[in-house]
Structure 1
Amino acid sequence: MMANPIHRLGDLADVRAGYLTREAVRNDPKGTHRLLQIRDFSRDRTTVNVPDMVRLTPESRSSVCTLQPGDVVFLAKGANNFAAAVPDLPSPILAASYFFILRPSPAILSGYLAWFLNHESTRALLSRLATTGAHMPIIRRDVLEALEIPLPPLTTQKAIAALDSLRLQEQALLTDLARKQHELISSVCMTTARRTIETTILEGARP
């Protein structure tokens, strides 16, 4: 079996910077754009909480890059880098400055690209290549663009992305199940403890 060709990420996707503001972001209900931030993603990074997104009006609309379905956002700052394919969201939406916006070419699927960037081996490599700025690791654009990616046929990319989506859904369900199990056990233990205390008090009050 022949190995899949290797390409630079920069040859497969246009990498752009997120929206940089001069001041702290404040919500403006009358703002023309929404701003995608880390907090807007679900735990498994597959959905976005649109109603709670901050609204703003960009200082200069000519230079901003609005998100499109099929884009991939990559968290370039901090120790917990992740990539997420952008779902179909109400436009216009900007990505926060700590994100890079990756706009894939027709040769690569956004789900496959996000999967590759989230893979343990890729994350480990990027961690080694990160520079330190403002007391946190940063992945520079040139480092991201130079990243080498194996490029299988689109049918294989689609299958990999689908499997990864199922994995994320299962992970989210298991996490939710574990949380509910913890809450149930905690509630049962507390109820048992209170009943034991009440029984002890009643027995102690008997003549």
Structure 2
Amino acid sequence: MNDAAQTTPLKDVAYIRAGHPFRGAVEVFANGSVAVVQMKDILPTGQIDWSSTVCTELIGRKDPDWLKQGDLLFISRGSRYHAAYVDLPPPFAVCGAHLFHLTVRDPGVVLPAFLAWQIGQQPVQRQLQQAASGSHQLSVAKPALEALEITIPPMKTQRLLVDLADMALSEKTLLTALIRNREQELDALANALASGHPLNFS
């Protein structure tokens, strides 16, 4: 690939598969060997909350599409269609039916973390909003996802963008924690004031 950014359909960049075809609700087993990632387990930051996933057992002769390090999970329903980066998955994990399972074809050409970042940005989000359809709840179908136009810059640029995105997330996490602590401090002062106790501003 040359130094210029190139645009290509997502299907040429990644393998796209539907989530595991569970029949109805996921049956939960307390000591199940398979973790199941559902929409509820994907944080707004694009990270997967493995601690909130349920465990189950899979029955069938065909090997499931196990989640691997560097895979992506695409949320196809709702008001924002972002991709989650699969990081440090358990040995056996699958995703639910309302998620698409993406595997980058050649990580030497496209960094999975970069692809996840780009899918969450405004230019791609506009494409997804235009492609979404449905009468009761908007969703993005597999053909529309496959046709999504992705811009691929040189690898050095991809790494820089991923590093910047990671720094922005770290800064946001820190600021959110500081704001939460300040709000808790103000709540404590308000309660002390209402109950007639001395106010501690230290």
Asked whether the two chains share a fold, i.e. TM above 0.5, the reply is yes
Mapping of residues 23-38 of structure 1, within 5 Å: 23-38=24-39
Mapping of residues 169-184 of structure 1, within 5 Å: 169-184=170-185
Mapping of residues 1-207 of structure 1, within 5 Å: 3-50=4-51, 52-60=52-60, 62=62, 64-106=64-106, 107-132=109-134, 135-195=136-196
Unaligned runs of 5+ in 2: 198-202
Counterpart amino acid of residue 155 in structure 2: L
* Offset from partner CA, 1:6-58 (integer Å, 9 cap, x none): 111100100011112112123112423110123334552335334x4211122
DSSP-derived class of the 2:166 partner: helix
Counterpart amino acid of residue 58 in structure 2: P
Unaligned runs of 5+ in 1: 197-207
How much does 1:61 deviate?
Answer: 5.0
Greater shift after overlay, 79-88 or 57-66? Answer: 57-66
TM-score normalised according to structure 1 size: 0.85
Measured in 2, the distance between the counterparts of 1:41 and 1:147 equals: 21
TM-score normalised according to structure 2 size: 0.87
Greater shift after overlay, 55-64 or 86-95? Answer: 55-64
Tell me which stretches of 4 or more aligned residues in structure 1 moved more than 4 Å: none
Measured in 2, the distance between the counterparts of 1:120 and 1:141 equals: 20
Counterpart amino acid of residue 182 in structure 1: E
Measured in 1, the distance between the counterparts of 2:66 and 2:183 equals: 41
Structure with larger Rg = 1
- Amino-acid identity (%): 27
* Offset from partner CA, 1:70-89 (integer Å, 9 cap, x none): 10111011223221110022
Name whichever structure is richer in helix by fraction. Answer: 1
